[in-house]
Amino acid sequence: MRVHHTNLVNLVGYCNEGDHLALIYEFVPNGDLRQHMSGKGGRSIINWGIRLRIAVEAASGLEYLHIGCIPPMVHRDVKTTNILLDEQFKAKLADFGLSRSFPVVDESHVSTMVAGTPGYLDPEYYRTNRLTEKSDVYSFGIVLLEMITNQPVIDQSREKSHITEWAGFEVNSGDIRSIMDPNLQEDYDSDSAWRTFDLAMSCANPSSKRRPSMFQVVVELKECLASEKSSRNMSRGIMDSHRSDEVTVLVDTEMFLVAR
């Protein structure tokens, strides 16, 4: 109840009547991010610009948990199915069942039994049982790779089964299109796509010390979104210019016909 942020699902109340136990959260009507990546259940496939905005919003929710909350919290189960979308497709991070707080101000980690979702789980946390906010950063990097590629996090039919290994191998060719979601139909700014991919791989670094903070992730994603918007505005300007040229040619042709 002490956690309040525009990009976190609000806890409305609870029920504790005998066998009837429930937590009541706000209703978020547009389902989860995973559904809109796959188009399942009649959900619309979201474009690259909306994906980047959702990434900024989800990252902002995590940033709040890490540095805006007192005491700070680690979500511990960041994944695409736990990012919900409201009427305007604003992202809201949900499911705090595995979350842990740091009760001591100077404490940098919590020693705890490993919990989380396979594929999204920080390998360093899995190995050492030391939970830090960088564990969420790793999971968020996997989310970004999903948003870029629309590929399963773990797919045993691939030569490289985990999405980090697969994506890293595929882009060795130097072509970001080799991993981009084909549903996007190449309708994206390649610079913002590359920057988002580089950020995702940085977040998913096996070493927690080499991962950025969520504050740095938010800053970088906002720049990626600005780059995408700038590219789209430039494209619109070029299209409008072409239309203007077509009108001028048409007018000149009409004047020529009248003169004859």
Most confidently modeled of 15-29, 124-138, 206-220?
206-220
The sign of the dihedral angle between the CA atoms of 170, 174, 178, 180 is positive
- The predicted model gives 178-184 an average pLDDT of 95
Contact 88, 162 (CB under 8 A): no
Tens of pLDDT, residue by residue over 70-110, are 888 999 999 999 999 999 999 999 988 777 777 655 555 55
Integer Cα distance of 142 and 131 in angstroms: 17
Q: At what angle do helices 133-149 and 48-63 cross, to 10 degrees?
A: 170
Contact 133, 66 (CB under 8 A): yes
For residue 43, report the phi and psi dihedrals to the nearest 5 degrees.
-70, 145
- Residue written as token pair 């995590």: 62
Taken in order of first residue, the domains within the chain and their CATH numbers are 29-259 (1.10.510.10)
Q: Which two tokens stand for residue 14?
A: 């609870």
Q: At what angle do helices 133-149 and 190-203 cross, to 10 degrees?
A: 150
Task: Note the pLDDT of residue 108.
Answer: 52
Contact 212, 202 (CB under 8 A): yes
The answer to whether 175 is a known catalytic residue is no
Integer Cα distance of 222 and 250 in angstroms: 42
Specify the pTM. 0.84
Q: Name residue 73's beta-bridge partners.
A: 101
Q: Which two tokens stand for residue 72?
A: 């700070």
pLDDT of residue 122 exceeding 80: yes
Contact 224, 196 (CB under 8 A): yes
- The predicted model gives 55-80 an average pLDDT of 93
Catalytic residue among 19, 32, 77, 181: 77
pLDDT of residue 172 exceeding 50: yes
* 3-class DSSP state of 162: strand
Q: Please state, rounded to an integer, the average pLDDT across all residues of the chain.
A: 86
pLDDT of residue 235 exceeding 50: yes
Task: Note the pLDDT of residue 237.
Answer: 59
Query: Which of 238 and 34 is assigned the larger pLDDT?
Result: 34
Q: Which two tokens stand for residue 242?
A: 């072409």
Integer Cα distance of 237 and 161 in angstroms: 42
pLDDT of residue 59 exceeding 70: yes
